[in-house]
Structure 1
Amino acid sequence: MRALKAIIALLFVLAGIALGALNQQTISIDLFFVRYQAHLGLALLLCVLAGAVIGGALASLSLLTDRTSMPKSARTVAESDKPA
């Protein structure tokens, strides 16, 4: 299982390197007060990373709100099932 995770991580790294190498154009990112010059590949990778972080945060937030919306009796049973 650990080897499979390492292979998948390596494939993502290789895909990121290929994406960066194939998109060498310089783009201008205008954030109203600040203007950045960056390579297109870097901008794409940062957008994907930001989307993954925001998606993970929203998913964990929804898990927290689902747990607090459970009735108290169900929460007690769920907490008693956890290993110490």
Structure 2
Amino acid sequence: MTQSAHADEQFPITTTRDGKKVKYYHHSASPAIWVGTVLVTLGFIVGAIGFVAGPNLLLIYIGAGLIVASFVVTLILKALGLGHG
């Protein structure tokens, strides 16, 4: 069995409600969710550092921007078929 065949068994293809074929990710462990979670976490960390260190408004705004960007990136990745449902 090749590695790609093993990957296909781990993430089988499924069809969404609107008829698009996407990979099924168990418990929403999809690349879109992981990227969104990492970006939100980084945004909160940067914002918290900015809040504690001063407050440093530039860091607070960068953190807020990362949080907003995480939602946009997650939606884009889901639209590309890298998310669940």
Band the TM-score falls in, shorter-chain normalisation: 0.3 to 0.5
Greater helix share, structure number:
1
TM-score (norm 2): 0.42
Q: Compare relative contact order (CA 8 Å, sep 6+) and give the higher one, 1 or 2.
A: 2
Greater strand share, structure number:
1
TM-score (norm 1): 0.43
Which structure has the bigger radius of gyration?
1
